[in-house]
Chain A
Amino acid sequence: MSTAPPSMLKEAPAHLSKGHDGITGQWSQFWGLYSREFIKTFRNPWVIAMTLIQPFMWLAFFGGMFSAVPDTEIDLFLHLPPGTGYLAFLLPGVLATGMMSIGMFGAMSTIQDKRFGFMKRILITPTSKATVYLAKALGSATRGLVQIPVMLTAALAFGVHFQGSVIGWAAWVIGLICLGIGFSAMFLALTASSTDWQTPGVIANFITMPLMFASGAMFPTSIYPWWMKDIADMNPVGYSAGLSRDVLTYGQFTGSDVAALGYLGLFAIVMIIAGTALASRYLKVE
């Protein structure tokens, strides 16, 4: 306890005793900030429209590139099991890369709060930087999950048939959540000390492109050169895409998928711990 000047009293005001302390207080702060992310996002009609339209565009434009080629030839060229088709192969990859890019929006919302002074309003209350960071990271990861039902609906509309068990589907969703948390945490940590609007975009472009193509999300890794295969072996996007493909497209959930889920969980935990430590130290107010 510090030494206070003698003329000052340190009695807690009566109202403070009615508030939440410790973990309950931190949860209160986290829930407020986490909910705000959601309210702000889905009160914007453009965000809702884009969220609904974008999956259709992905499947229409990217999947449409091979529409003139018969499925049998695609399966043969990409070393896919017979009868797969490119759209069914692509969908799990698109979902995985989509979760990767949602972290960028979390980082942009943080920079917006800094630029408009709202971060000062938050941090002038007894809210820790770690709580702000966790609310932003988990908020943007959750926002990314909204695309899952939309994307599945879009895929069904394009004639894709899904398989898999309940356990397999649960593992797939948990894997996507871990991927989203991991990338959101990573983007936010990388932009914690920045107030520049351009930073999240530049970092996202730098990271997203190599991780998207060196992942097996768009094409099977069997057709990659050796150095891209090495990157894909470490790339969490590839693990998520592989897990998704096994469950949704091929209807199986094997030991390698359990290992992939473990890898994604580890990725999320490491990124959250490292990001919280970095943000606690470097999160700028303005």
Chain B
Amino acid sequence: MDAIVTKGLTKVYDKKIKAVDHVDMDIPSGSIFGLLGPNGAGKTTIIKVLTGLSDITEGDAWIAGFNVRKEPMRVKARVGWVAAEVILDDDLSAWENLWLQARLQRLGDWKDRAGQLLEFFELNDRRKDKVAGFSTGMRKKLEIALALLHQPEVIFMDEPTIGLDANVRRMLWDLITGVNRQFGVTVLLTTHYIEEADRLCDRVSIIDQGKFVASGTPSELKNRVHEDFVEIETSESVTAEKLSAIPGVSNVKSQGKAWVLRVPSAEETLPHIFQALRTDGIRRINVEKPSLESVFLDITGKHLDQAGADVQDFRKFYMNVRRARR
């Protein structure tokens, strides 16, 4: 059974900005699905249209069997949402936030489950405290508890670990896998962290400029790239021909001031590179073994952290940092 299905899903803003471009998805129930892409790739927009926050321009989508366009309220009763920015009402206590969520989800019998969730997320002793005084990790836990209160079939997690330190990020990774296993809920998470997608997701789609450019399990995607990448930046003037002539180099791509060389084995090819080039002229050299990052690099010619950063995403990031500090 599929929890999320889209056919040709497209979202155009202001009749000219195509944020999502004919996306097809079939996400099995109970799985963790990752949307991996740079800032501005269209990940958040996909969540907005699937949850009914934004209208679909073209195509169609179903969540838990319900059409997003035609039955938005039925869809909303079956989805949970964890925002990148941690959105809670700081003036209310943890319990009051749960109470409000229960009201909005029209739940009649919610207190037992709310208590169990607070126990599960180790927040029970702080249930009466205003959430303004909670740490970032506690706020994230409460946000996930809110998303689970009405027993949704699908949870959307929009860059759930953006701006968090390594410890909180690891704690959240454990929580996300725990929630998926213990509550049997389908998770669609967006991220631009390679390690996160690799570690958490059963399946991943790589998205760039609103389009899915590759999909599969992390292993399948990594197997697409059998070779290593050597990224090199030199002070001496070199040509593609010169680099292609180095033994072992199968492909050469120019990327800004750097060159990206595709080689069967970086360990075997590096000595040849150092022979062919003046070693004192090498400013930077970086070896990329097969990974989701190298898949993205191979397909788009860009690194994930280079592609598509825009002002809005920086604003989102800094807003998150400010809230985390508070």
A binds B: yes
Q: Which of B73, B85, B89 is the one whose CB lies under 8 Å from A40?
A: B89
CB distance B76 to A125 under 8 Å?
yes
Q: Which of B1, B67, B81 is the one whose CB lies under 8 Å from A124?
A: B81
CB distance A29 to B104 under 8 Å?
yes
Docked complex Cα distance between A39 and B153 (Å): 31
**Interface of chain A residues 97 through 142 with chain B (CB within 8 A):** 116-118, 120-128
Given contacts A40-B91, A116-B87, contact A121 B81 (CB under 8 A): yes
Task: Check if B62 is an interface residue, CB within 8 A of chain A.
Answer: yes
* Stretch of A3-11, A68-76, A159-167, A253-261 at the chain-chain interface: A3-11
Task: Check if A225 is an interface residue, CB within 8 A of chain B.
Answer: no
CB distance A124 to B106 under 8 Å?
no
Task: Check if B103 is an interface residue, CB within 8 A of chain A.
Answer: yes
| Closest B residue by C-beta to A16 | B77
Q: Which residues of A contact B101 (CB under 8 A)?
A: 125
Task: Check if A90 is an interface residue, CB within 8 A of chain B.
Answer: no
Count the A residues whose beta carbon is within 8 Å of the partner chain — how many? 41
B232 to chain A, nearest CB (A): 43
CB distance B89 to A126 under 8 Å?
no
* SS class, residues of chain B in contact with chain A: loop
Docked complex Cα distance between A31 and B102 (Å): 11
CB distance A124 to B62 under 8 Å?
no
Q: Which residues of A contact B107 (CB under 8 A)?
A: 15, 18-20
Q: Which residues of A contact B81 (CB under 8 A)?
A: 120-121, 124
**Interface of chain A residues 264 through 286 with chain B (CB within 8 A):** 285
Task: Check if A2 is an interface residue, CB within 8 A of chain B.
Answer: yes
Task: Check if B195 is an interface residue, CB within 8 A of chain A.
Answer: no
Docked complex Cα distance between A43 and B89 (Å): 13
Q: Which of B51, B79, B87, B96 is the one whose CB lies under 8 Å from A118?
A: B87
CB distance A124 to B65 under 8 Å?
no
Given contacts A2-B69, A2-B70, A125-B104, contact A8 B153 (CB under 8 A): no
Docked complex Cα distance between A199 and B92 (Å): 27
A281 to chain B, nearest CB (A): 12
- Chain A residues with CB under 8 Å of chain B are 1-5, 7-10, 13, 15-16, 18-21, 24-25, 28-29, 31-33, 36, 39-40, 43-44, 116-118, 120-128, 285
CB<8 Å pairs between A and B, sample of 12: A2-B62, A4-B62, A4-B66, A7-B2, A8-B1, A8-B3, A15-B150, A18-B107, A29-B106, A33-B103, A39-B91, A121-B87
